[in-house]
Amino acid sequence: MSTLNQRSIQKLMQKLSPQQIQMIKLLELPALQLEQRIKQEIEENPVLDEDTEAKEEEGQEEQKNISVDEYVREEDVPNYKYYVNNYSKDDERRPVYLSDGLSFHEYIKGQLGYKTLDERERTIADFLIGSLDDDGYLRRELDSLVDDIAFSTGIETTREELEKVLKAIQELEPPGIGARSLQECLMLQLASKGIKTKSARLAKEILTSYFDEFTKKHYEKLISRLGVPVDEFRNAIEEIIRLSPRPGNLYNGGASGATPHITPDFLLDYQNGEFDLSLNYSNVPDVKINSKYVNLIKDMTAKGERQSESDKEAVQFVKHKIDSAKWFISAIKQRHNTLMQTMKAILDYQKDYFVDGDQTKLKPMILKDIADRTGLDVSTISRVVNSKYIQTHFGIFSLKTLFSEAMQTESGEEVSSYEIKKILSECIDNENKQKPLTDETLMEILNNKGYQIARRTVAKYREMLGIPVARLRKQI
């Protein structure tokens, strides 16, 4: 029979404290989300208050550093700690209401009321609209939809009837929805504009009879087959280019189509050869500990042994909230210090670039370079850089754009990949659009300039810049 042995084992484990986890989460937040997070904490923790004054009140430091451990014994655990999920009886359960505009499919279905459809056709139309993807295309074959409609709605239909209902859907806004191919999508949009001009009629002929040649940009072959002047052909191509290949994207769900607002996390000013770096505090509220709760604890503990069980529970609850508030304030301060320490190291590393914003002056820089300069971990630098922006005298941009890999020239000098990308952009901007430069030609140009780079690397940088291949850049 086996016996039970009891022995002590010593283990070395690395664990993050709640304060460290809170600090990490705050470090990742950009300025706009930090503002929301602080307001949320103020709402959830009654001990925290927004400090509306420019300077801290007298005695504030004393409030922040005060300890209430002496007032409460650790074994005095309040009853609410034993409740499920640690909810207090005073916690208010508030529902979360979400509000948004109509979805793309709801917007399309809303237009069916203007169509003369019976109940059967409307049910089929609802099913077809639900089958559209986010781009507005009907990617599935009508024959397979016949079976699905019969299974889902109990309606026995035919391909011909689906064609009729689909045609009604294709007349809705935005133009081009319900198309089963790019060719049909462009044809629907062109028809909705009204084919009245000579260039529009030629555009319809190109899409109808020469779509493959058009997509492959075989323009010389098309001009020869159509027998039209170059200017007339160019106008027809411009008519097609103005159409949208993704009509579903034309609907923005009732939201504003304006460019999203970016709140910079850092402000950098450059005057008289000197840099002035600061954090953007404009929308981030300052927080402080409300003194009335500390005074409340003092008044209640002054009773000594006359304290009731409910008084002890209240004191323990307030103590917990004060500790939480102190941790939160400390985490915000540490976040600010870490952000400034990291940004100062980046500014010192890329000082030449920050003078005038010339990307060719960007030095090759990776996260480890800044980690070595600050003494921080690479993961911490990554959290600082992620989703953060800096405002300079030459614009607002993401901190991620400052990091790039190194390329070596013939002389052995290391240059940033941004310098290569800028040369590529300039070469492509100045190329003959009738005979665009291939990746092979671009590689030769860079090699002649002293940059040892392979063709596949040229293709990679070109794709990163969002520039298509030479065949698709061809113009008439």
Q: Which residues pair with 391 in a beta bridge?
A: 267, 396
313, 311, 317: which is closest to 299 by C-alpha?
A: 311
Regarding whether 350 and 447 lie in a shared domain, the answer is no
Is the same domain home to 379 and 291?
yes
pLDDT at 418: 75
Say whether both 140 and 227 belong to one domain.
Answer: no
Does the pLDDT at position 93 exceed 70? no
In a domain, 413, yes or no: yes
Q: pLDDT-based confidence at 68, cuts 50/70/90?
A: very low
Task: Report whether pLDDT(85) > 60.
Answer: no
One-letter identity of residue 291: S
Q: What percent of the chain has pLDDT over 90?
A: 13
Give the lowest-confidence range in 56-60, 189-193, 420-424: 56-60
pLDDT of residue 180: 92
Q: Give the position of tokens 């030095």.
A: 363
How many C-beta atoms lie closer than 10 Å to residue 59's C-beta?
10
Q: Does the residue 4 lie in any domain?
A: no
Pair (207, 322) in one structural domain: no
Residue 290 CB: number of other CB atoms within 10 A?
18
Dihedral of CA 224/226/228/234: which sign?
negative
Task: List, for residues 251-262, the tens digit of each pLDDT value.
Answer: 766 554 444 577
| Conformational region of residue 435, where left means phi above 0, alpha means psi within -120 to 50, and beta covers everything else | beta
pLDDT at 188: 92
**276 in helix, strand or coil?**
strand
**Statement to judge: residues 277 and 345 lie in one domain:** yes
Read off the pTM.
0.55
Q: How confident is residue 413, by pLDDT bands cut at 50, 70 and 90?
A: low
Domain stop point among 250, 278, 295: 250
Query: Within a domain: residue 96?
Result: no
Please tell me the predicted confidence (pLDDT) of residue 444: 87
Query: Of residues 80 and 357, which shows the higher confidence score?
Result: 357
Section 327-339 average pLDDT:
88
Range with the lowest mean pLDDT among 71-80, 276-285, 378-387?
71-80
Give yes or no for residue 11 having a pLDDT over 60.
yes
Quick: pLDDT tens for 351-398.
988 988 887 788 888 888 899 999 988 988 988 888 889 999 888 888
Q: Give the chain's mean pLDDT.
A: 79
- Name the 3-class secondary structure at 460: helix
- Alpha-carbon distances of 147 from 155, 157, 162, 422, rounded to whole Å: 9, 8, 12, 55
Number of domains in the chain: 4
Q: What is the 3-state secondary structure (H, E, C) of 297-345?
A: HHHHHCCHHHCCHHHHHHHHHHHHHHHHHHHHHHHHHHHHHHHHHHHHH
> Which pLDDT does position 154 carry in this prediction?
87
Comparing CA positions, the residue from 416, 414, 415, 413 lying closest to residue 401 is 416
- Higher-confidence residue: 249 or 368? 368
Same domain, 227 and 360: no
- Per-residue model confidence (pLDDT) at position 29: 84
Q: Are residues 396 and 307 in the same domain?
A: yes
Region 39-44: mean pLDDT is 85
Task: Establish if 140 belongs to a structural domain.
Answer: yes
Structural domain for 264, as ranges: 16-50+59-84+258-403
CA–CA dist 112, 130 (Å, integer): 13
The answer, yes or no, to whether residue 328 has pLDDT greater than 80, is yes
| Whether residues 264 and 368 fall in one domain | yes
The residue that leads in pLDDT, 391 or 98, is 391
pLDDT at 460 over 80: yes
Same domain, 230 and 193: yes
Section 269-280 average pLDDT: 89
pLDDT of residue 348: 92
Distance of CA 19 to the CA centre of its chain: 27
Domain edge (last residue) among 231, 250, 269: 250
Q: Are residue 246 and residue 136 in the same domain, yes or no? A: no
Whether 436 shows a pLDDT value over 70: the answer reads yes
Cα 296 to Cα 123, 158, 317, 370, distances in angstroms: 65, 77, 12, 47
Same domain for 263 and 390, yes or no, is yes
Question: Is the per-residue pLDDT at 80 higher than 90?
Answer: no
What stretch of H or E contains 270? strand 266-271
- Record the tokens describing residue 253, joined without a space: 């769900």
The whole-number pLDDT of residue 307 equals 64
Stretch among 83-92, 110-119, 187-196 having the lowest mean pLDDT: 83-92
Q: Is residue 381 part of a domain?
A: yes
The residue from 403, 424, 445 where one domain ends is 403
**pLDDT confidence tier of residue 447, bands split at 50, 70 and 90:** confident
The fraction of the chain above a pLDDT of 70, given in percent, is: 80
Amino acid in position 71: Y
The string of pLDDT tens digits covering residues 176-221 is 999 999 999 999 999 888 777 888 889 999 999 989 888 888 888 8
Query: CATH no. for residue 438?
Result: 1.10.10.60
pLDDT at 76: 46
Amino acid 412: pLDDT: 62
Examine residue 466 and state whether it is found in any structural domain, yes or no. Answer: yes
177, part of any domain? no
Q: How many other β-carbons are positioned within 10 Å of the β-carbon of residue 244?
A: 16
**Does residue 232 fall inside a structural domain?**
yes
pLDDT at position 1: 54
Q: Are residues 25 and 75 in the same domain?
A: yes
